[in-house]
Amino acid sequence: MSTKPTVLVTGADGFIGSHLTELLLNEGYHVRALCLYNSFGSLGWLEGVSHPELETISGDVRDPDLCRQISDGCEIIFHLAALIAIPYSYVAPDSYVDTNIRGTLNMLQGARANKSLKRIIITSTSEVYGTALTVPIAETHPRQPQSPYSATKIGADALALSFHAAFDLPVVIARPFNTFGPRQSARAIIPTIITQIASGATEIKVGDLTPTRDFNYVEDTARGFLAIARANDVEGQEINIATGSEVTMAKTLDTIATLMGKEVSWVTDPARLRPSKSEVRRLLGDSSKLRELTGWAPKYSLEDGLRKTIEWFTEPANLARYKADIYNR
């Protein structure tokens, strides 16, 4: 039995979860990593990761009994497991309610039963804010559910905060803005562009290029989670993880093409367009609360993060995992 502090990461097999798991292991924690059960026995992005302090469990946050079992004995819980693809939430909203709302409820109930718990961090998203009404977007910005996905995350956040108010559960809401980097699903704008270019395409299929985003490199996002876990007296609070800068999709994609040394053109693919009222037109985050509480600041500029992301995706073994010719919702 490890004598190091035990932390639980749900969604540890995913994009952000796998990076957070690696950071926690490097910081000396014993990590209990929940990976989504599948018949292939795959651990997702933790496949092949070997560490004496890594404990992997296959399961699903939709199972309340499992959530109680895996929470037991953990000092800190990072709850990242969620369905996150916005386009698929138009197709299967029931699934998003089951995983994002009921799955979060199950984790909160499991955390309540855990006598060792010091903090549970619930992962939110900048999508809960919708199109910016004021900038930069602080945690007090109104919530605007512009997609079924964002609606379920608003609901999950509200449930978590209610457990803090009603049961004094040590809940904190971590709200990362647009995270990108190695291992991200090709449903997201940055990897879908990189993989198309890397696969030799010269006409790159895209959606709307006019919205702006506040892009976080994934290592900075993971450090933000850890900083929140270690902060003092933040229970019951919502905390943004953002760079405080914004860039249009068009500018981002031009930068990617330049960094990759390719001349390409952009072609609008109607399948990649959100319904007009569902598109979030502008995101620019205010992370002053996180900075003041913890001293966190992003280490990577957008260009530096894109270089590292391009380097990873253009490794043949990594690129082979992606289907650049298929739009992945």
**pLDDT tens by residue, 174-232:** 999 999 999 999 989 999 999 999 999 999 999 999 999 999 999 999 999 999 999 99
Residue 104 pLDDT grade (very low, low, confident, very high; cuts 50, 70, 90) = very high
Mean pLDDT (whole number) for 142-163: 98
Instruction: Evaluate if residue 2 carries a pLDDT over 70.
Output: no
What pLDDT score was predicted for residue 111?
98
The residue whose two tokens read 């000396």 is 28
Instruction: Evaluate if residue 306 carries a pLDDT over 80.
Output: yes
Q: Crossing angle, helix 15-26 and helix 218-230, to 10 degrees?
A: 60
Mean pLDDT (whole number) for 6-17: 98
Question: Between β-strands 119-123 and 76-79, what pairing exists: parallel, antiparallel or unpaired?
Answer: parallel
Domain range summary for the chain, segments of one domain joined by + = 6-179+215-241, 181-213+245-283+301-319
CATH of region 6-179+215-241, choose from 3.40.30.10, 3.40.190.10, 3.40.50.720, 3.40.1160.10: 3.40.50.720
Output the CATH code of domain 181-213+245-283+301-319.
Answer: 3.90.25.10
- Is the Cβ–Cβ distance between 283 and 141 less than 8 Å? no
Q: Which of 55, 52, 47 is nearest to 72 (CA)?
A: 55
Q: What is the dihedral of CA 45, 99, 191, 184, to 10 degrees?
A: -20
Mean pLDDT (whole number) for 296-319: 98
Instruction: Evaluate if residue 4 carries a pLDDT over 90.
Output: no
Taking the model in full, what pTM does it have? Answer: 0.97
**Is residue 198 classed as helix, strand or coil in its secondary structure?**
helix
What pLDDT score was predicted for residue 24?
98
| Cα within 13 Å of Cα(52), Cβ side | 5
What pLDDT score was predicted for residue 329?
65
What pLDDT score was predicted for residue 327?
77
Q: What is the dihedral of CA 116, 71, 182, 40, to 10 degrees?
A: 150
pLDDT tens per residue, range 235-274: 999 999 999 999 999 999 999 999 999 999 999 999 899 9
Question: Chain-wide mean pLDDT for the chain?
Answer: 96
pLDDT tens per residue, range 77-100: 999 999 999 999 999 999 999 999
CA distances, 245 to each of 181, 241, 319 (Å) = 17, 12, 29
What pLDDT score was predicted for residue 3?
73
N- to C-terminal Cα separation, the chain: 41
What pLDDT score was predicted for residue 1?
52
